Amino acid sequence: MASKVAHAYYLDDEVLMDAVKACKKKHYHIEDVYTPFPVHGLDKVLGLPHTRLAICAFIYGLIGLTVATTMMNFIMIEDWPQNIGGKPSFSYIENLPSFIPIMFELTVFFAAHLMVITFYMRSKLWPFKKAENPNERTTDDLFCIELDASHVEESELDAFLKLTGAEEVNFKNQ
Amino acid sequence: MNTFKNNIKILPLVLMVLGIIGLAISFSSAPSSTEEVEQILASQHHGGHGASHGDAHAADHDSHGDAHKAESHHAAHGEDAHGHNTHEVTVQDEAHTEHEKHLHHVLHQLQNKPWAALYVAAFFFFMIALGVLVFYAIQFAAQAGWSPLLFRVMEAITAYLLPGGIIVFIILALSGFHLNHLFVWMDSEVVAHDELLQGKQGWLNVPAFLIRAALYLIAWNVYRHFAVKFSRKQDEEPAGNVWYKKSFKAAAVFLVVFIYSESMMSWDWIMSFDPHWFSTLFGWYVFASMFVSGITVIALTTIFLKSKGYLAKVNNSHLHDLAKFMFGISIFWTYLWFSQFMLIWYSDIPEEVTYFVTRINDYTLPFFGMVALNLVFPLLVLMNSDFKRINFIIVTVGIVILIGHYIDIYNMVMPATVGVSWSIGLPEISAVALFLGLFIFVVTKALTKADLEPSGNPYLEESKHFHY
């Protein structure tokens, strides 16, 4: 953890992107960036590793598909054989078309819900959690870059950040 | 302006010449009498069951064979039905007329075959140009910021709309004048014995059919003409975006006209091959096919041009977006295909379900193979985000999608025109070669007509900086 950080506030996401690129070029260490909405391409500029959430989503989808298949096979074929559309074959595969919508729905349902829950857990978010962002205005209209300022001259960093278009620069000891 | 190397000029000509030769052979070798059909059937049967053509037939013949095996040891259909050992004369007569009917049936199918092959390929390439035109109009109506760098590519592909449309119209007109028998409802002999067709005559009659076809084509080509004109004018006089606003309005009007006219076009030009059968979402289903094929061709053309050093400003984010559309619309196509299939399969009403029974029984491989090509392959390969930026993968998936949608159109047209006598042979491949050649010829020619990078579009800057 940095003992001292700088918070630079920006009004526009394009300006923010350019500022992040400039900081990277100067080799300033960016602790984190807070934005009111997801900024396209920011993760790439920050050099963050690619999210593995997509892999989870795929696995969750497969789980949903399996649940749907076993559930319907048990309910409609084994436990209480149903005559589906006047085709009493009592076979899952022969009646597959009528099961596909539910297989699809449950795949999406499992992928979506479990992915959101995974995302919350991974981001350490839960109800009544205290906000961690440096300033609540970053949930409204401001974009904030948090920089490690422990080994840099304050005035120099301040001037640099103002040059990149920062509206406001604060320094904070932690 | 832009020039292409000679091989790109020679390739379409070679394809067209080969296509014309192949089609000429197919048309001249189509049987003209039932005797020839008998010979063909006999040689096919003896030729073995391996040929895809003969599969359905072979099954048919085998069942005949089984039924007669007790009396006759001949396996061949013809001799079978004449039955040397059948004693009763009436049975023999019945078998004989049945056999004659069958031969006539097959004769018509085989005579239709080159025509149907020609029509499928003509429609397929025409539909690509139309799908691109719609995609282009949507970019304007939505004021999309990512795509202006690709507008010249789209404009060039839609150049095929006019020649392609004229060719399709000529084939339809030839059907109308009874030079071929693709559309069974055009046969007054058939209509006279068919109450359903008599009831549909108000819509399905030759003059109205051709007038409607002309109207659709005129409407689409008029939009294409003005859209390209406005786009070029915008480059010349970008001040005030006067021409851009005209493009926007024209695109909005076109899209409304298109979705109605395209739906009716799909009833006329494709659904009426099975005139008893109807599906309310058929227009959407055909639209999904043309849309995904069109987008795929935009992606392939863009990759081709980039490999030749053009379109320097187009980056892999643009390609990523095109690949996302290929992925998304492939799933959309499957959604419509399945929606149509499931309801009809579930309710199992004879006059509806016959459409799918024919396809599943006689066209098993193309019917299910198409789902693998159009859904499973693009779904699994393009699901990965990184793969959507790799040229090699987009080209591979693109070619598979195009083959899949050719087979989709094939499945819509062939069962009602050639029935069990289908195969993918000389006429089909020649027709594809002919229209592929013409398509490449027209598109590469159109690509040289204007600067590949538009200069006046108000969203050009955004498109150049597009990154994802």
Q: In total, how many domains does chain B have? A: 1
**Assembly ipTM:** 0.77
Do B468 and A85 count as a contact with CB atoms less than 8 A apart? no
pLDDT digits (tens, 9 = 90+) for B116-170: 999 999 999 999 999 999 999 999 999 999 999 999 999 999 999 999 999 999 9
Is residue B277 one of the residues assigned to a domain?
yes
B468 touches chain A (CB under 8 A): yes
pLDDT tier at B54 (50, 70, 90 boundaries)? very low
Do A97 and B347 count as a contact with CB atoms less than 8 A apart? no
Is residue B219 one of the residues assigned to a domain?
yes
Is residue B50 one of the residues assigned to a domain?
no
Chain A nearest C-alpha distance from B456 (Å): 23
Is residue B159 one of the residues assigned to a domain?
yes
pLDDT at res. B263: 95
pLDDT digits (tens, 9 = 90+) for B11-43: 889 999 999 999 999 888 888 877 778 777 777
Tokens, residue B349: 């009403």
Lowest mean pLDDT among A58-72, B46-60, B265-279, B417-431: B46-60
The chain A residue lying nearest B380, using CA atoms, is A58
Q: Which chain A residues touch B346 with a CB distance below 8 Å?
A: 84-85, 97-98
pLDDT digits (tens, 9 = 90+) for B319-350: 999 999 999 999 999 999 999 999 999 988 98
Look at the block and give the residue holding tokens 């000029």: B9
| Under 8 Å between Cβ of B121 and B429 | no
Is residue B55 one of the residues assigned to a domain?
no
Buried b (16+ CB within 10 A) or exposed e, B130-164: bbbbbbbbebbbeeebbbbbbbbbbbbbbbbbbbb
Is residue B41 one of the residues assigned to a domain?
no
pLDDT tier at B2 (50, 70, 90 boundaries)? low
B465 touches chain A (CB under 8 A): no
Is residue B141 one of the residues assigned to a domain?
yes
Instruction: Check the CA dihedral B148-B152-B157-B163 and report its sign.
Output: positive
Residues contacting residue A79 through CB under 8 Å, at least 6 positions apart:
none
Do A97 and B383 count as a contact with CB atoms less than 8 A apart? no
Mean pLDDT value across residues B210-236: 95
A84 secondary structure, DSSP code: B
Which residues form the domain of B450?
A: 112-464
Give the other-Cβ count within 10 Å of B96's Cβ: 13
Residues contacting residue B188 through CB under 8 Å, at least 6 positions apart:
none
Is residue B58 one of the residues assigned to a domain?
no
pLDDT digits (tens, 9 = 90+) for B232-241: 999 998 888 9
Q: Is the pLDDT of residue B177 over 60?
A: yes
Q: Is the pLDDT of residue A102 over 80?
A: yes
